[in-house]
Structure 1
Amino acid sequence: MTDRVLFINAMLVNEGREWPGCLRIQGDRIEAVAPSLEPLPDERVIDLQGAWLLPGMIDDQVHFREPGLEYKADIASESAACVAGGITSFMDMPNTNPPTLSNEALEDKLQRANGRARANYAFYFGAANDNLDAVRNINPLRTPGVKVFMGASTGNMLVDDPEVLDGIFAGAPVPIITHCEDTPTIDANMVHFQQEFGANLTAMQHPDIRSREACLKSSVLATELAKRHDARLHVLHISTAEELDLFEPGPLIRADGSRKRITAETCVHFLHFARPDYANLGNLIKCNPAIKDESDRAALIRAIATDRIDVLATDHAPHTLEEKNKPYAQAPSGLPLVQFALQTALDLVLSGQLRVEQVVQKVSHAPAQLFDVKERGFLRPGYFADLAIVRREPHRVTRDEILSKVKWSPFEGHTFGTTIAATWVNGTEVWRDGQLGDAIVGRALEFDR
C-alpha cells in the first residue's frame, strides 16, 4: 500500500478560485492539484462528491490555558476541538501562568505541545513593562510574534509604560500583535454603571463598559506607534465600525509584491452575535473586547469583503460554566470557539454575505502570509497536506459533541449550514464523520523569515 491518497470530485477553494478538481497527497505533502487526476496503483481514492476541499484554517489567536489553568483547558483538549472544526494550526497567546515572557517559558510551551497537539502549533512571546531586552532579542524562527496588551490585560502583562511601548515598536524583530482597549476609559465606565445599576449590573451593559471609545483610543495609539517606527503591526479582534477607518483596504500582498505593514483582524463571534444576544446568552458571550451593535457586525462583514480586515480568527478563551454563571462583575471574559469557527464563517457564505474564496483568504492564506508560515495555508504542490473537507449539510450543535474541556458552547442549539466532514493534518486524517482519529501528528510551525 502506498502512502498516496487521491481526492476526486472535490470543490477546491484556493487563491481566489472555487473550482471542481482533484488533489493528491503523498506522505505529509500535497503532490498534485489538477482538474483531473488518474488513480495510481494501490492509491487510496476518496470521492468527495462535490464537498468543499479547503486548506485548513490557521487560527492565529487562541488561549489554551496551559500552563497554569489546565482545569479548564489544555493543549490536548483544545487542539482536539480545533481539528473537529477544520482548524489545522493554532497560535497560542502568552497570558498563561507563568506568562510567556522569556525564551525558557516559550520553549516549555513548545515541549508541552510536542506529541500532544492534534493540530500544528506556535506560541507568542509576551511583552511586559520589564522585559524589553527579551523582546528585542526574540528569535524570529521560534515564535509568530510578540503580543502586547495595550491598556487592558488579564494577569500581569499590561504594557502601559510609554517608553517601553516605544521601544517595542522600534525594536521588535517579529510582528507586533496588540489587544487594544484603554483601561482608564473602561474603569471610568465601570464606576458609572455600577453606580447606576448596583447589584442589577448585567452583561447587557458590557458593550458600554468595554466601550467603542476604549477600543478606538487604544487602536489609534497602536497604529500611530507603528507608523512612527515603520513596524509590522497586527491589531487583534476589531469590534467596532469606527476602528475600521484606521486600516487600509486592499489585499494583504499587493500587486507589486509588497505587504501591508499595518493589518487588522476580527473574530467569528463578532460576525455572528450582536447586542440583542446578551438578553439570552448573558455572560456566555461576555468577552474582551465586547460584542457590540448590529451595525458593527454589518460593518465588520463588509470590511472582510473589501479587505480592510485581513484575518478572521477566534480568540478562543474557555472558562467553566461555574465561572460564567457568576454575577456579571465576577464572571470572566472569553468563550470557547474553535470547534465551530469555520462553520460560523461559512454560514456567511451560504447567506450570500461573503464568498467562500474570501473566507479561505481570511482564515487560511492571510495568517500564513502575515506570519511567514512555511509551506502551509494553501492548496499547493509541495505544501503540507493540512486540509478541511466541508459538506454543505446542516449540523445542529449539541453539548455532547463539544470537545473543549469546559464542555459548553455559545452555539448550542444552533444549526449551521455546513458540516466538517474530515480534517487532515500533515497528510493524516485526524477527524472524520464526528470522530477523532487516533493519530496525534501536530508539529511546531516553521517560519520562513
Structure 2
Amino acid sequence: MKNTLIKDATIINEGREFKGSILIENEKISEIIEGNVSDSYGQNYNIIDASGSYLIPGVIDDQVHFREPGLTQKGDLYTESKAAAAGGVTSFMDMPNLIPQTTTLPLLEDKHALAQTKAMVNYGFYIGGTNENWKEITAADLNLACGIKIFMGSSTGNMLVDNREVLNNFFANAKILIATHCEDEETIRTNIKNALEKYGEDFPIAMHPQIRSREACYKSSSLAVKLAKQHDARLHILHLSTADELQLLEKGNINNKQITAEACVHHLWFSDEDYKRLGRFIKWNPAIKTSKDRDALIQALNENVLDVIATDHAPHTLKEKSGVYTKAASGGPLVQHALQAVLELHEQGKFAKEQVVHKMCHAPAQLFGIKNRGYIRKGYQADLCIFKKEKHTVNKDNLLYKCGWSPFDGTTFSHTITHTFANGHLIYNNGKFDESIKGQALIYNR
C-alpha cells in the first residue's frame, strides 16, 4: 500500500473545523498538519488534492442488516459494504436475525470468516439473545461481539424475547452492552387484531404508526430502562421513534452514561405525512411517526439526550415490499446515503457539521469502545471520508444496493461523497472502487 497525503482539506474533527493535511502511512494516520503545506511536501506520497472539500473520520454505522448468511436475495456482505463505502461508511455492526440466526459463538465466528473475504469496509457483529440461550451467551467470552442484540419486539426474522424471567437474566448477567429493539408485542398484536376486524388484511399503510404505536414503543423502552437500572446493565436502545421515550433518557456525555440510545436516519428525515407518497417504501419497525416526533429526536441529538445516528439499513426485494399491509416487509436500504441525508439536515439548519461528525463518527466509537477508530488522531486507523458541496441526485443508475431501490430515489442532496479510505486503503474514488484489500474486524476496548 502506497503512503498517501490528503492535502489542503477542510477537516472536521472533535468539535473543530480547520484547514489542514493528513499523512497516511501503513494503514494509520501518521501526521496531522494544520494550515497549508508547500507544493513540494509529500513528493514520495500518493497525493490527493482535497482543497475545496471536507475531510472527516469514516462513519461508523452501529445498526445494519446486511442479510448474510441465509437472506442474500436481499443483500450480502459484499454488496452492502460496497454501498457503505460509497456513502463514506467505513465500519458497520451487523444484526443477528439471519438464517441461521447468529445466536452461538460458532455462528458468530462463521460470520467473521465470511466478512474477512467479502466485506469492503470494517465490520462488527452482534450476537443474538433468545428465550433459550441466556446462560450460554452471558457466560461466554464475547470479545468477537460488539453487543448482545435483544428483540423486545418482533421484527424480520422473529427473534422475540418475550419471557420476562429470561429478560431479567440477560440484564442481570450480561458482561457487554445489550442493544434492544423496543416495541411491546402484546400491544402490537392487539392493534393488528382490531385493524383486521375493521379492514381485513389490506388496511391502509398510513396506519403503520398506529399499529406499531407510540404506546408499544414506550412500554417496551421503559421496561428496558427499568431492567438496566435494576441490574446496572449497559443498555443501548436502538432506533427511538417517539418524543415520549426521550423522557426515559438523561442528557450528558456519552462516556458517563450507562444507558444510551440512538436515532436512525429515516426517523430524522420522514414523517407520517410521507406514507401517502412513499407507502410501503418507508414501512419500518419501529414505525415512522409524526413531524413533532421527528423534531423532538433532532433536538434530543443536539442536546446529547440521544447519542448516535445510525441507519438500521435493512434491504428487502421489491417483491418482498409489495402486497397487502400484513405481508409487505418492514425495512429499507439506507447506508449509501445516510451521511448525505444528515448533511442535508445540516443545510436545513438542523445540525452543525461538527455535530454530524460527532453523532455519526466519534460517538459510535465511544459508545462501543472501538479501538483506534472514529477520530482523526495520530496513530489511529486511517478510516476517512472526503466530501464536497456538490449536488448529487439518487437514481437507479447510481444505486449499489442489491435490492435495487431506495426511499431516496429522485432526491437531490447538496453534498457528494468523493473518497473513502478504510485502514489507509482508498477503496472508493469518485465512483470507482479498489477492491484489492478487504476491511478489518473491529476491536473493542473492554
After TM superposition, the structure 1 stretch with the greater mean CA deviation from structure 2, 219-228 or 23-32, is 23-32
Decide which of 70, 80, 83 is 1:81's aligned counterpart.
83
Paired position in structure 2 for 1:145: 147
Higher mean alpha-carbon deviation, 350-359 vs 260-269, is at 350-359
Counterpart mapping for 1:324-343 below 5 A: 324-343=321-340
1:52-105 CA-partner distances (Å, limit 9, x unpaired) = 101000001000111111111110110001001000000000111111110011
How far did 1:199 drift?
5.1
Question: Which of 398, 402, 413 is the equivalent residue of 1:405?
Answer: 402
Supply the distance in 2 between the matched residues of 1:138 and 1:440 (Cα, whole angstroms). Answer: 31
Q: Is the 8 A contact 1:270 1:291 kept in 2?
A: yes
Task: Say if 1:426 and 1:441, in contact at 8 Å, map to a contact too.
Answer: no
Counterparts of 1:156 and 1:196 in 2: how far apart (Å)?
Answer: 26
Equivalent position amino acid for 2:30 in 1:
E
For normalisation by structure 1, the TM-score amounts to 0.97
SS in 2 for 1:317: coil
Q: TM-score, normalised by structure 2?
A: 0.97
Aligned match of 1:256 = none
Deviations 1:252-274 (A, max 9, x none): 12xxxxx2100010100111111
**Residue of structure 2 aligned with 1:40, choices 39, 42, 51:** 42
Report deviation, 1:10: 0.7
Contact 2:10–2:18 (CA under 8 A) maintained in structure 1: yes
Q: How many residues align?
A: 443
1:145 counterpart SS class = strand
239-248 or 144-153, which deviates more: 144-153
Q: Distance in 2 between matches of 1:97 and 1:168?
A: 23
CA contact (8 A) 1:21 1:33 kept: yes
1:385 is matched with 382
Contact in 1 for aligned 2:382/2:422 (Cα 8 Å): yes
Pairwise mapping of residues 68-217 of structure 1 onto structure 2 (< 5 A)? 68-198=70-200, 200-217=202-219
Q: Say whether 1:432 aligns with 2:434.
A: no
- Amino acid in the other structure paired with 1:27: N
Separation in 2, partners of 1:118, 1:200 = 40
Post-superposition offset of 1:322? 1.1
Shift of 1:137: 2.2
Alignment of 1:254-293 (within 5 A): 259-293=256-290
Q: 1:239 aligns with which of 238, 241, 247?
A: 241
Summarize deviations over 1:118-161 as a string: whole Å, max 9, x none. Answer: 01001101000100112212323211100001132333421111
SS of the residue aligned with 2:418? strand
Which of the residues 60, 66, 69 maps onto 1:67? Answer: 69
SS at the partner of 1:400?
coil
1:254-312, Cα deviation, whole Å (9 max, x unpaired): xxxxx210001010011111111100110011010000101111111111110111010
Which region of structure 1 is more displaced relative to structure 2, 4-13 or 180-189?
Answer: 4-13
| 1: CA distance, partners of 2:74 / 2:132 | 29
Cα deviation, 1:20-52, whole Å, max 9, x if unaligned, reads: 111111120001112134523412222112211
For 1:440 and 1:316, the matched residues in 2 are separated by: 24
Structure 1 unmatched runs, 5+: 254-258
Work out the CA distance in 2 between the residues paired with 1:359 and 1:309. 13
Residue 20 of structure 1 aligns to a residue in which SS?
strand
Shift, 1:437, TM fit: 2.1
Query: Is contact 1:58-1:368 (8 Å) kept?
Result: yes
Structure 2 Cα separation of the partners of residues 4 and 151 of structure 1: 48
Please give the per-residue CA displacement for 1:297-356, whole angstroms capped at 9, x wherever unaligned: 111111111011101000000000111121111001000000001111111111111111
Amino acid at match of 2:26: G
SS state at 2:175 partner:
coil
Distance 2:439 2:401 in 1: 17
Q: Which residue pairs with 1:12 in the alignment? A: 11
- Unaligned segments of structure 2, at least 5 residues: none
Give the aligned residue type for 2:14: E
Asked whether 1:423 is paired with 2:420, we answer yes
Moved more, 175-184 or 360-369: 360-369
Q: Is the 8 A contact 1:428 1:439 kept in 2?
A: no
**Equivalent-residue separation in structure 2 for 1:330 and 1:92 (angstroms):** 24
Give the distance between the partners of 1:273 and 1:297, measured in 2 at CA. Answer: 8
Residue 376 of structure 1 and its aligned partner are, at CA, apart by 0.4
Aligned partners of 1:84 and 1:339 also within 8 Å: yes
C-alpha contact 2:156 2:330 (8 A) present in aligned 1? no
Distance between the aligned counterparts of 1:76 and 1:179, measured in 2?
Answer: 26
Q: Percent identity?
A: 50
Aligned-residue offset at 1:421: 0.7
Moved more, 37-46 or 126-135: 37-46
Secondary structure, counterpart of 2:405 in structure 1: coil
